[in-house]
Structure 1
Amino acid sequence: MAGQMKLGAFLMPTGHHIAAWRHPNAVADAGVNVGHMIELAQIAERGLFDLIFFEDAAGVREARVELAAQTSRSIGFEPISLLAALAANTHTIGLVATASTSYNEPYALARAFATLDLVSDGRAGWNLVTSASEIEAANFGAQGLRAHGDRYVRAKEFAEVVSRLWEPSSRFGVVEHQGENFAVRQGLGIPASPQGAPVMVQAGSSDVGRDLAARTADVVFVATQTLKDAKSFYDDVKARTERAGRRPEAIKILPGVSPVVGETRAEAQEKFDELQALIPDEVGLALLASYLSTNALDGLPLDGPLPDIKVGEGMQSRQQLVIDQSRRDGLSIRQVAQHFAGARGHWRLVGTASDVADEMEAWFLGGGCDGFNVLAAYFPGELTSFVDRVIPELQRRGLFRTAYEGATLRANLGIAPA
């Protein structure tokens, strides 16, 4: 690993903290306010981020409506459509949206992203996910959630079809794919953008998820809590990438980090404590239970230990991360829920710009990552704090760019055109 770190700005309507919507400076209609989203994209571009990124779920996040109304993730635009608007209001920053292989078809998805890539002059990226929610499954007529392994069998073929549709030789020709899950005959009829094809992004950390990323991804998002775990994931995925016949440097690994930055450590801690105090117990508990895919927490004393929970068919790597952390740090159910609500299992940093830069530098130079996916606790405040305080500190240390290297997402990430 060498050079400078890559940065993604993971955007969300009011912020990544589950109680961000209750912050005094929150934008009340953030999820459906395109002007607000344009402002966030422009702040990130001013900070020279490689990309902005949106997650997605095809359903309301919580099964209980009264809890869905009390989170920062319940209302938001469909991300590909939103990115088309942001493309017209930015110039260089990459535009990455999540779309599931579980409830889409490869031809339609490949066409949508190829269009976004062309109209943005080569700045689009697709974050491939396999849907892990019973709520989403019910919205598409499925009889329950597909098993974890089955989801990835479908995802592997899906990614292969999309990649082939994005090849220059296939765009106006005949594809003739007939597989276990999909049949596609013709190309997209859309010319390639200046970067050739959209960037492929993935976030699966299970064994099959890592294998899929090693074969097909350009960028990998991951949630890790320690440099040891980050380095273990980094080394493993890079080795799998090489075994798949690709150069290890062809894939960029970006762990999530959720910083709260202040002029002093005391100020940063005060800002974070203010957010933590806004979490209703029932909301934090519901978020934790949804990620663990369990009802085992119902009725248990919140100050007692997390019970023994088996990893299920949901987000397996995130489930294991939460279980491991609760055991490692001896956290009660309430403490686990409050900690998880702050960044959903991602690495959390609270301190001055120098403190945050120190930790990021240690992970980057210590072989734990190629950069970071930044999850601001609330918007626009903490994104602005990061851009105005942390970015200059990283630049002063030579760890981050002072100008964009190119005009396309691939050029700025330092990966070859497709």
Structure 2
Amino acid sequence: MTKKQLIIGAILHGAGGNMASWKHPSGPADASVNVKHYLNLVEKAEGAKLDFIFVADGLAINKDVLPHFLNRFEPLTILSALASVTSHIGLVGTLSTSYTQPFTVARQFGSLDLISGGRAGWNVVTSPSTGAAHNHSQDTFPDHALRYEIAEEHVEVVKGLWDSYEDDAFLYDRENDTYFDPNKMHAINHHGKHFQVEGPLNIQRSPQGQTVVFQAGSSDAGRELAAKTADAVFTGHKDVESAQAFYQDVKSRAEAYGRNPDEIVILPGIGPIIGETEEEVEEKYAALRNGVSIDTALNYLGRYFDHFDFSVYPLDEPFPDIGDIGAEAFKSTTDLIKADAKKHGKTLRQVALEATTPRSPFSGTPEHVANEIEKWYHADAFDGVIFGSPLLNDGLHLFIEKVLPILQERGLAQTEYTGTTLRENLGLPFKQNRHTQKVSEASV
């Protein structure tokens, strides 16, 4: 596969990814449930020829979470609405494997794929939260290893269901009273450890073969799941060296499973603060950081550790030794937080404020942001980026108006779409049906 230009996606998450973003005048306060806001953003993103937009999700809240978590659209619902006003941009949404059934997931994304003409992507997550368990009639959530074991089987069942029909199974031949060819329908008959699914699925295959599978975990188990099952990996890194190591590791694991490493793309999320001058960038960052109280920051930090209460510890002493707390929650994130705090001798106050208002290494003037993206891309640290912003309306506008033209002038970013499906946007091949592929391989 020939490597395409830089892949660029954008996270649509309410008013932005900061605790105080809803108060900023650049966008509506109710952005997370404002349809016009989402329509404006997706039209802007498609007009700029971005490859996809990404809608995240969560399954539990409390009064202290990020404000837009309290009141936001379910991803597949808003993505279906956005599909009707777009024609090229990919539509990626999060759905958990811990609290869904494969048949339902396969049908939902199969439907979004048809509605959008082959532009759907599924971001696979495992939902490490006691609250999520309680919202789904369970006392607790599965431990880390078990969640990923369930996720692997779940994804494979979904993929099997997506191959229920061969691409030309539906004939719609009225003259001969032939709606479809029953010889081209296949039941999955899956009998596994966690799921028992007969099939077949009651919807035809996607124009891109199968919905693109994203995977968002960066722990060892997450990397293994990505290497086995994912087409794209959503990750995040503070420096180019750790990004390079992750990139090589996941691609090497994919190759060890007999996959073409070029057919799994690595896409870290970046959240740059963009300004015309460095002084403006500093002013914007200070305003964001000062808009968050320390109590709010402690609550936000606790979310990564399954809502652990950090308020009982001294703020200006070294980050507390909390042992394995967090190991069964957002493991890769909590491991990184603890390791970084220990390495740099950070206080609890510093850790909480940084977690709540992180400083992206890509922040700076448009030229600096473009330079950093180009440097990381040529260093094989990623295949592209997923743009997010503490202030989404302001940030996405500046990225599209100021940074993207620089990347386009350098030949790094596309100026026109070359295909109509998400797989084409990502430079990935059409996903062949396993049943016709077996026949084809047998005849060679």
TM-score category of the 2 structures, normalised to the smaller one: over 0.9
Partners of 2:320 and 2:146 in 1: how far apart? 28
CA contact (8 A) 1:258 1:375 kept: yes
Partners of 1:319 and 1:234 in 2: how far apart? 20
Deviates more, 1:168-177 or 1:73-82: 168-177
Q: Does 1:328 align with 2:324?
A: no
CA contact (8 A) 2:164 2:187 kept: no
Which of the numbers 404, 423, 432 marks the counterpart of 1:391?
A: 404
Q: Does 1:181 align with 2:177?
A: no
Q: Residues 98-109 of structure 1 correspond to what in structure 2 (within 5 A)?
A: 98-109=94-105
Classify the secondary structure of the residue corresponding to 1:241.
helix
Classify the secondary structure of the residue corresponding to 1:108.
helix
In our comparison, the structure showing a higher alpha carbon Rg is 2
- Counterpart of 2:222? 209
CA contact (8 A) 2:15 2:27 kept: yes
Amino acid of the structure 2 residue aligned with 1:241 = A
Unaligned 5+ runs, structure 1: none
- Counterpart of 1:56? 57
Unaligned 5+ runs, structure 2: 167-183, 432-444
Query: Following TM superposition, by how much is the alpha carbon of 1:374 offset from its aligned partner in structure 2, in angstroms?
Result: 1.0
Q: Residues 114-153 of structure 1 correspond to what in structure 2 (within 5 A)?
A: 114-153=110-149
Query: Following TM superposition, by how much is the alpha carbon of 1:168 offset from its aligned partner in structure 2, in angstroms?
Result: 5.4
Partners of 1:207 and 1:299 in 2: how far apart? 31
Q: Moved runs in structure 1, 4+ residues, more than 6 A?
A: none
- Aligned residues: CA RMSD: 1.7
Query: Following TM superposition, by how much is the alpha carbon of 1:241 offset from its aligned partner in structure 2, in angstroms?
Result: 0.4
Amino acid of the structure 2 residue aligned with 1:79 = P
Query: Following TM superposition, by how much is the alpha carbon of 1:23 offset from its aligned partner in structure 2, in angstroms?
Result: 1.8
Q: Does 1:161 align with 2:157?
A: yes
Q: Residues 356-375 of structure 1 correspond to what in structure 2 (within 5 A)?
A: 356-375=369-388
- Counterpart of 1:84? 80
Query: Following TM superposition, by how much is the alpha carbon of 1:390 offset from its aligned partner in structure 2, in angstroms?
Result: 0.8
Query: Following TM superposition, by how much is the alpha carbon of 1:3 offset from its aligned partner in structure 2, in angstroms?
Result: 4.4
The C-alpha deviation readout for 1:212-253, integer Å capped at 9, x for no partner, is: 111110000112111111111111000000011110000000
**How many aligned residue pairs are there?**
411
Classify the secondary structure of the residue corresponding to 2:40.
helix
Q: Does 1:193 align with 2:206?
A: yes
The C-alpha deviation readout for 1:367-387, integer Å capped at 9, x for no partner, is: 111111111121211111111
Classify the secondary structure of the residue corresponding to 2:198.
strand
- Counterpart of 1:272? 285
Partners of 2:10 and 2:29 in 1: how far apart? 21
The C-alpha deviation readout for 1:349-371, integer Å capped at 9, x for no partner, is: 32111111111111111111111
Question: TM (normalized to structure 1)?
Answer: 0.94
Which of the numbers 70, 73, 81 marks the counterpart of 2:69?
A: 73
Which of the numbers 409, 416, 422 marks the counterpart of 1:403?
A: 416
Query: Following TM superposition, by how much is the alpha carbon of 1:99 offset from its aligned partner in structure 2, in angstroms?
Result: 0.4
- Counterpart of 1:4? 5
- Counterpart of 1:220? 233
Classify the secondary structure of the residue corresponding to 1:260.
coil
Which of the numbers 373, 376, 392 marks the counterpart of 2:389?
A: 376
Q: Residues 336-351 of structure 1 correspond to what in structure 2 (within 5 A)?
A: 336-343=351-358, 347-351=360-364
Which of the numbers 263, 268, 287 marks the counterpart of 1:250?
A: 263
Partners of 1:225 and 1:37 in 2: how far apart? 29
Partners of 1:118 and 1:328 in 2: how far apart? 49
Partners of 1:3 and 1:50 in 2: how far apart? 11
Partners of 1:35 and 1:363 in 2: how far apart? 35
